[in-house]
Structure 1
Amino acid sequence: MSAILSADDLNDFISPGVACIKPVETLPAQADSNPYEVTTEDKVQAPNPAPASISLTDCLACSGCVTSAEAVLVSLQSHTEVLNTLDTYPPLDVRYLSESRNGLMNGNTPPPNDAKLFVASVSPQVRASLAATYGISENQSGFLIEQFLSGSQGLRVGGQYRSGFSYVVDTNQLRQACLVLGAEEVADAIETKSKPKPVLTSACPGWICYAEKTHPYVLPHLSNLKSPQALSGTLLKSVLSKTLGIPPSQIWHLAVMPCFDKKLEASREELTHKWWQSSSSTETPVRDVDCVITSRELLSLAEARGVQFAQLPLQPLSPSERTPFPDNRLSNFLFPKPRRRTEQSVTAGSSGGYLYHIIMTEQARNPGSTISVQRGRNADVTEYTLVSTSGQPLMKCARYYGFRNIQNLVRKLKPARQSKLPGAARRMAASASGGSDYAYVEVMACPGGCTNGGGQIKIDDVASTLPQTRGEEVVNTSPQSQKEWLKRVDEAYYSADSESENESDGDVHMANGTGVENGHLTNGHRQFINGINTTEVQDFLHYWSSLVAIPLEKLAYTTFREVESDVGKNKASKTLDDTARIAQIAGMSGGGW
Structure 2
Amino acid sequence: MSAILSADDLNDFISPGVACIKPVETLPALPQSALPEHEVFRDDGPTNTAADTAQISLTDCLACSGCVTSAEAVLVSLQSHAEVLRALDAGPGLDLSSRPTNSSSCSSHVPPPLLYVASISPQARANLAATCGPGVTEQQAGFMLEHLFSGPSGLRAGGAYNNGFTWMVDTNAARDATLVLGADEVLSAPSSVGAAKPRPLLTSSCPGWVCYAEKTHPHVLGCLSKVKSPQALTGTLFKTTLSRMLNISADRIWHVAVMPCFDKKLEASREELMDGAWDDTKSSAGSKGVRDVDCVITSKEVLMLAESRGIDFFSLPKTSLEEQRMPFPDPILDRFFFPLSQLRHRTRPPAAAGSSGGNLYFILQSVLAQNPGATLHTVRGRNIDVVEYAIIADGEETPLFKAARYYGFRNIQNLVRRLRPARPSRLPGGRPIGSARRGGASGAGAGLDFAYVEVMACPGGCTNGGGQVKADDEIILARRQADSRAEANGAKLGPLEQKAWLADIDEAYFSADEDDITGNVTAEDQNGALYGDEVDGISPSYVRNTLTHWARITGISLDKLVYTTYREVVSEVGKSTAPGNKKKGADAAEHVVQLASKIGGGW
Match of 2:163 in 1: 163
1:427/1:24 CA distance change after superposition, 3 Å = closer
The counterpart of 1:333, out of the listed 336, 355, 358, is 336
1:429 aligns with 2:443: no
Match of 2:570 in 1: 564
Farther-moved stretch of structure 1 (250-259 vs 381-390): 381-390
SS of structure 1 residue aligned to 2:280: coil
Q: How does 1:101-112 map to 2 (within 5 A)?
A: none
Match of 2:89 in 1: 87
Give the whole-Å Cα distance in 2 for the aligned partners of 1:356 and 1:489.
20
The Cα shift of 1:349 comes to 0.5
1:398 aligns with 2:404: yes
Aligned 8 A contact 2:116 2:254 in 1: yes
The Cα shift of 1:314 comes to 0.2
1:534 aligns with 2:548: no
Aligned 8 A contact 1:341 1:501 in 2: no
1:522/1:310 CA distance change after superposition, 3 Å = closer
SS of structure 1 residue aligned to 2:245: helix
1:171/1:340 CA distance change after superposition, 3 Å = closer
SS of structure 2 residue aligned to 1:575: coil
Q: What TM-score do the two structures reach when normalised by structure 1?
A: 0.80
Aligned 8 A contact 2:458 2:464 in 1: yes
1:348 aligns with 2:353: yes
The counterpart of 1:316, out of the listed 309, 313, 320, is 320
The counterpart of 2:386, out of the listed 374, 381, 384, is 381
The Cα shift of 1:116 comes to 0.2
The Cα shift of 1:482 comes to 1.2
The Cα shift of 1:84 comes to 0.7
Give the whole-Å Cα distance in 1 for the aligned partners of 2:481 and 2:119.
25
1:493 aligns with 2:509: yes
The counterpart of 1:457, out of the listed 462, 469, 474, is 469
The Cα shift of 1:460 comes to 2.2
1:163-201 deviation line (CA, Å, top 9, x unaligned):
1100001000100000000000001223599x9620001
The Cα shift of 1:340 comes to 5.5
1:15-40 deviation line (CA, Å, top 9, x unaligned):
22243446995999xxxxxxxxxxxx
The counterpart of 1:119, out of the listed 91, 97, 117, is 117
Q: How does 1:363-382 map to 2 (within 5 A)?
A: 363-382=368-387
Farther-moved stretch of structure 1 (203-212 vs 88-97): 88-97
Aligned 8 A contact 1:343 1:530 in 2: no
1:572/1:246 CA distance change after superposition, 3 Å = closer
Give the whole-Å Cα distance in 1 for the aligned partners of 2:119 and 2:244.
19
Farther-moved stretch of structure 1 (475-484 vs 249-258): 475-484
Q: What TM-score do the two structures reach when normalised by structure 2?
A: 0.79
The counterpart of 1:244, out of the listed 241, 246, 249, is 246
Match of 2:450 in 1: 438
1:143/1:81 CA distance change after superposition, 3 Å = same
The counterpart of 2:561, out of the listed 546, 555, 558, is 555
SS of structure 1 residue aligned to 2:234: helix
Give the whole-Å Cα distance in 2 for the aligned partners of 1:399 and 1:504.
38
Give the whole-Å Cα distance in 2 for the aligned partners of 1:454 and 1:6.
10
SS of structure 1 residue aligned to 2:511: helix
1:341/1:288 CA distance change after superposition, 3 Å = closer
Farther-moved stretch of structure 1 (151-160 vs 388-397): 388-397
Match of 2:47 in 1: none
The Cα shift of 1:203 comes to 0.4
SS of structure 2 residue aligned to 1:532: coil
Match of 2:213 in 1: 211
Farther-moved stretch of structure 1 (424-433 vs 219-228): 424-433
SS of structure 1 residue aligned to 2:547: helix
1:224-275 deviation line (CA, Å, top 9, x unaligned):
0100000000000000011111010110000000001000000001111111
For this pair of structures, how many residues does the alignment match? Answer: 528
Aligned 8 A contact 1:463 1:475 in 2: no
1:258-300 deviation line (CA, Å, top 9, x unaligned):
0010000000011111111221415561110000000001110
The counterpart of 2:126, out of the listed 119, 125, 128, is 128
1:125/1:560 CA distance change after superposition, 3 Å = same
Aligned 8 A contact 1:310 1:470 in 2: no
Give the whole-Å Cα distance in 2 for the aligned partners of 1:249 and 1:230.
16
Match of 2:296 in 1: 292
Aligned 8 A contact 2:276 2:289 in 1: yes
1:315-347 deviation line (CA, Å, top 9, x unaligned):
00152x322211111101101112465242210
Aligned 8 A contact 1:63 1:567 in 2: no
Give the whole-Å Cα distance in 2 for the aligned partners of 1:26 and 1:480.
36
1:407/1:310 CA distance change after superposition, 3 Å = same
% identity of equivalent residues: 52
AA aligned opposite 1:486? L
Aligned 8 A contact 2:470 2:476 in 1: no
Give the whole-Å Cα distance in 2 for the aligned partners of 1:162 and 1:522.
38
Farther-moved stretch of structure 1 (141-150 vs 88-97): 88-97
1:372/1:462 CA distance change after superposition, 3 Å = farther
Give the whole-Å Cα distance in 2 for the aligned partners of 1:127 and 1:471.
24
The Cα shift of 1:566 comes to 1.8
Match of 1:588 in 2: none
Name the structure where helix makes up a greater proportion of residues: 1
Unaligned runs of 5+ in 1: 29-57, 102-108, 515-520, 584-593
The Cα shift of 1:113 comes to 5.9
The Cα shift of 1:93 comes to 1.1
AA aligned opposite 1:431? R
Unaligned runs of 5+ in 2: 29-54, 440-444, 488-492, 592-603
Q: How does 1:123-272 map to 2 (within 5 A)?
A: 123-135=121-133, 136-191=136-191, 197-272=199-274
1:524/1:176 CA distance change after superposition, 3 Å = closer
Aligned 8 A contact 2:62 2:208 in 1: no
Give the whole-Å Cα distance in 1 for the aligned partners of 2:78 and 2:555.
33
Q: How large is the Cα RMSD of the aligned pairs?
A: 3.8
Give the whole-Å Cα distance in 2 for the aligned partners of 1:3 and 1:355.
30
AA aligned opposite 1:296? K
1:204/1:399 CA distance change after superposition, 3 Å = same
Match of 2:51 in 1: none
1:226/1:206 CA distance change after superposition, 3 Å = same
The Cα shift of 1:416 comes to 0.9
1:559/1:500 CA distance change after superposition, 3 Å = farther
Give the whole-Å Cα distance in 1 for the aligned partners of 2:523 and 2:428.
62
Give the whole-Å Cα distance in 1 for the aligned partners of 2:62 and 2:192.
38
AA aligned opposite 2:404? A
SS of structure 1 residue aligned to 2:131: helix
SS of structure 2 residue aligned to 1:255: strand
